[in-house]
Amino acid sequence: MVDQNETKAAQAAEEKTEGAPAGAPSAEAPESAAPATAQDADELTDAVLEAEAAAIVDNAMDQVEAEAAAAAQVAEWKDKYMRLHAEWDTYRRRTKEQREEEKARAAEKLVVSLLPVIDDLERTIDYAEKNSDADTSSGLLDGVKAVLTKFVDTLQKDGVEVLDPVGQAFDALEAQAVGTVDDPSQPDETVNEVYQKGYKMGVKVLRPAMVTVTTGGPKREKPEGKED
């Protein structure tokens, strides 16, 4: 009896095994799929790292571009500042030079307008010395001389130079020859007499002196260092 039961159980198990579809997992196989291989895990890790590296590079490039744009803007504003600063310095220098020129012209104009007054005083003194009675006019004459001296001294303090080149070599830049005098005792082209004094302010001649020059004398030696 026991042997028959065991035989039937064995037959039933065998039939169950034979009826199972091909490739079906056995009863002892695990229910879930097998985990990924080590190669698949490495490939996944590399892809993640590449994505993170690309994101870091993109972020770094964005920062570099932003810094470059900021640096370009700083350079542009610096260039504008330098140009404006240079233009301001040029404007300030020109304005200063213009004011100085206007001041100099105003001073020159004032001095030129006063020269006839000086001429009249000098002529008055010269006439008084030659024609007036010394006893009756000495006090008045001395007073006029004092006024003239003070007048000229004031102009000289402001940069005016009197041109009175008697006995000096004739200089066509500062004197005007109105006549010649035959005088063999003096070198040729020596100022013999000044009819009217000249005046200059700085390097500008306000009025050349009116003079006579000598002729017939020895040739004047040229200053040292001056070539023919």
Higher-confidence residue of 191 and 107: namely 191
| pLDDT 10s digits, 120-148 | 999 888 888 887 665 556 677 888 889 89
164 falls within a domain? yes
Both ends of the chain: CA-CA distance in Å? Answer: 162
pLDDT score at 178 = 94
Axis crossing angle, helix 38-131 with helix 134-157, rounded to the nearest 10: 170
Q: What are 213's two structure tokens?
A: 């020059």
Q: Residue 202 sits in which domain range?
A: 160-219
For the question of whether the overall pTM of this predicted structure is more than 0.75, the answer is no
- The rounded percent of the chain whose pLDDT value lies above 90 is 28
- Name the residue with tokens 């003239």: 148
**168, 198 in Cβ contact below 8 A?**
no
pLDDT category, 223, cuts 50, 70, 90?
Answer: low
CATH number of the structural domain spanning residue 169: 2.30.22.10
Q: Which helix (H) or strand (E) holds 146?
A: helix 134-157
**151, 121 in Cβ contact below 8 A?**
yes
**189, 220 in Cβ contact below 8 A?**
yes
Extended beta strands in the chain, E state: 160-163, 175-182, 191-196, 198-201, 204-207, 209-215
Mean pLDDT of the chain: 80
pLDDT score at 134 = 54
Q: What are 143's two structure tokens?
A: 């007073």
88 falls within a domain? no
CA distances, 147 to each of 122, 144, 154 (Å): 11, 5, 11
| pLDDT 10s digits, 19-73 | 444 444 444 444 444 445 776 677 778 778 888 888 888 888 888 888 888 888 8
100 falls within a domain? no
Nearest-angstrom CA–CA distance, 215 and 192 = 10
28 falls within a domain? no
115 falls within a domain? no
186 falls within a domain? yes
Query: Cβ-count burial of 196 within 10 angstroms (0-12 exposed, 13-18 middle, 19+ buried)?
Result: middle
pLDDT score at 214 = 93
pLDDT score at 141 = 82
Nearest-angstrom CA–CA distance, 174 and 206 = 9
Segment 8-23 mean pLDDT: 51
Count of domains observed in the chain: 1
Degrees, nearest 5: CA angle 203-207-212: 110
